[in-house]
Amino acid sequence: MINHKQPASRLIPGFLWQINLWAPISIGVLIIVIFLSPQERLLKLNHLIQDLVIANQERDPTGDIIIVAIDDKSIAALGRWPWRRAVHAELLDRIGADNPKAIGLDVLFTEPDLTHHNDDTLLAASIKRNGPVVLPVFIQSFGARHQIMTPLAPIAEHAAGLGQPHLKVDNDGVVRSTYLLAQADGQTLHQLSKVLLDVDGDNSTSSALSATHSTDASPVLWQQQNLMTIPYAGPVGHFERISYIDVIRGVLPKGTFSNKYVLIGATATSVGDQYATPATDNSVLMPGVEILANVTDAMVTGITLQPASDTQNAIFNLLFVSISLIGFMLLSPFFALLLTILLALTSVLGTFYLAGFTGILFAPSAGILGLSAIYPLWSWHRLNTVTRFLMVEYESLQQGRHIPFTANKPLARDFLDRRIAALEGARQQLQNLHLFILTSLDKLPYPTIISDTDGFIRFANQSAAQHFNISDTELLLNRYFPALIADVRPNEYEPALITDKFITNDLHTVESEARDNQGRDLILKCVPIMNADKLHVGWILSLIDISALRQAERDREEAFRFITHDIRAPLSSIIALLELSRLQNTETNEPLMLQLEQYADNALELADDFMNLSRAKSAEYRMEEVDLCDLLSEVADEVWASCRVRNIHLKTTFIETPAYTMVDRQLFKRAITNLVINAIKFSPDDTEIICSISGKNDHWDIAVIDHGIGIAPELQAGLFDPFNRIHAISHPGIKGTGLGLAIVQTIIKRHGGNIEVQSKPGSGSAFHILIPVFVPANQDNTDAEQTADAI
Residue 204 has pLDDT above 50, yes or no: no
Residues 127 and 257 in one domain: yes
Cα–Cα distances in angstroms (integers) from residue 623 to residues 635, 740, 746, in the given order: 19, 22, 16
Residues 420 and 454 in one domain: no
Residue 270 has pLDDT above 70, yes or no: yes
Whether 212 is covered by a domain: the verdict is yes
pLDDT band at 487 (very low <50, low <70, confident <90, very high): confident
Residue 421 has pLDDT above 60, yes or no: yes
pLDDT at 442: 81
pLDDT band at 498 (very low <50, low <70, confident <90, very high): confident
State pLDDT tens for residues 663-689: 998 889 988 988 898 888 888 888 898
pLDDT band at 291 (very low <50, low <70, confident <90, very high): very high
pLDDT at 92: 92
Give the HSE-up count for residue 490: Cα atoms under 13 Å, Cβ half-sphere: 7
Q: Residues 258-275: what's their mean pLDDT?
A: 88
SS3 of 509-561: CEEEEEECCCCCEEEEEEEEEECCCCCEEEEEEEEEECHHHHHHHHHHHHHHH
pLDDT at 402: 53
Whether 81 is covered by a domain: the verdict is yes
Residues 6+ apart with CB under 8 A from 285: 236, 274, 275, 276, 277
Q: Residues 41-49: what's their mean pLDDT?
A: 89
Q: Residues 476-481: what's their mean pLDDT?
A: 88
Please report, rounded to a whole number, the percentage of residues in the chain having pLDDT higher than 70. 77
Residues 153 and 253 in one domain: yes
Count of the separate structural domains present in the chain? 6
Whether 746 is covered by a domain: the verdict is yes
Residues 413 and 458 in one domain: no
- Nearest C-alpha neighbor of 98 from the set 264, 251, 300, 260: 260
pLDDT at 679: 86
DSSP three-state, residue 627: strand
Asked if residues 1 and 400 have their Cβ atoms less than 8 Å apart, the reply is: yes
Question: Most confidently modeled of 195-209, 408-422, 696-710?
Answer: 696-710
pLDDT at 310: 92
CA dist 730 and 784 (Å) reads 48
| Alpha-carbon dihedral sign for residues 409, 411, 412, 417 | positive
Residue that is last in its domain, among 259, 276, 302: 302
pLDDT at 501: 82
If you average pLDDT over every residue of the chain, what do you get? 80
State pLDDT tens for residues 209-246: 433 334 344 455 567 888 889 999 999 989 999 999 99
Decide: residue 529, CB within 10 A, 0-12 exposed, 13-18 middle, 19+ buried.
middle
Sequence-ordered strand ranges (E) for 654-788: 660-664, 688-696, 699-705, 754-760, 764-772
Asked if residues 242 and 197 have their Cβ atoms less than 8 Å apart, the reply is: no
State pLDDT tens for residues 72-117: 899 989 988 888 989 999 999 999 999 999 999 988 888 888 888 8
Residues 423 and 340 in one domain: no
pLDDT at 12: 44
Whether 60 is covered by a domain: the verdict is no
CATH code, 540: 3.30.450.20
Stretch among 103-107, 278-282, 754-758 having the lowest mean pLDDT: 278-282
Whether 64 is covered by a domain: the verdict is no
Asked if residues 706 and 764 have their Cβ atoms less than 8 Å apart, the reply is: yes
For the entire predicted model, the pTM comes to 0.50
CA dist 125 and 89 (Å) reads 8
pLDDT at 366: 92
86 DSSP β-pair partners: none
CA dist 163 and 134 (Å) reads 7
Residues 180 and 287 in one domain: yes
Asked if residues 768 and 702 have their Cβ atoms less than 8 Å apart, the reply is: yes
Neighbour count for residue 657 (Cβ, 10 Å): 19
Residue 388 has pLDDT above 60, yes or no: yes
Residues 462 and 359 in one domain: no
175 DSSP β-pair partners: 169
pLDDT at 686: 87
Q: Rounded to 5 degrees, what angle do the CA atoms 378, 381, 387 make?
A: 140
Q: pLDDT higher for 553 or 69?
A: 69
Residue that is last in its domain, among 413, 441, 469: 441
pLDDT at 403: 52
pLDDT at 214: 40
Q: pLDDT higher for 574 or 12?
A: 574
pLDDT at 504: 79
Residues 100 and 228 in one domain: yes
Residue 14 has pLDDT above 80, yes or no: no
Residues 490 and 541 in one domain: yes
Q: pLDDT higher for 138 or 357?
A: 357
Residue that is last in its domain, among 258, 282, 302: 302
pLDDT at 208: 40
Structural domain containing residue 434: 402-441
CA dist 136 and 292 (Å) reads 12
pLDDT band at 787 (very low <50, low <70, confident <90, very high): low
Residue 163 DSSP label: E
DSSP three-state, residue 471: coil
Residue 411 has pLDDT above 80, yes or no: no
Whether 614 is covered by a domain: the verdict is no
pLDDT at 364: 94
pLDDT at 323: 92
Residues 6+ apart with CB under 8 A from 732: none
Residues 341 and 452 in one domain: no
Residues 390 and 507 in one domain: no
pLDDT band at 764 (very low <50, low <70, confident <90, very high): confident
pLDDT at 5: 40
Q: pLDDT higher for 278 or 574?
A: 278
Residues 347 and 462 in one domain: no
pLDDT at 367: 92
Residue 369 has pLDDT above 90, yes or no: yes
Residue 552 has pLDDT above 50, yes or no: yes
Whether 610 is covered by a domain: the verdict is no
Q: pLDDT higher for 381 or 415?
A: 381
Say whether the peptide bond before residue 82 is cis (omega within 30 degrees of 0).
yes
pLDDT at 7: 42
Residue 646 DSSP label: T
State pLDDT tens for residues 303-349: 888 899 999 999 999 999 999 988 888 888 888 889 999 999 999 99
Whether 615 is covered by a domain: the verdict is no
- Nearest C-alpha neighbor of 737 from the set 553, 570, 557: 570
Residues 6+ apart with CB under 8 A from 775: 660, 784, 787
pLDDT band at 140 (very low <50, low <70, confident <90, very high): confident
pLDDT at 530: 87
pLDDT at 271: 78
Burial 716-732 (b: 16+ CB within 10 A, else e): eeebbebeeebbeeeee
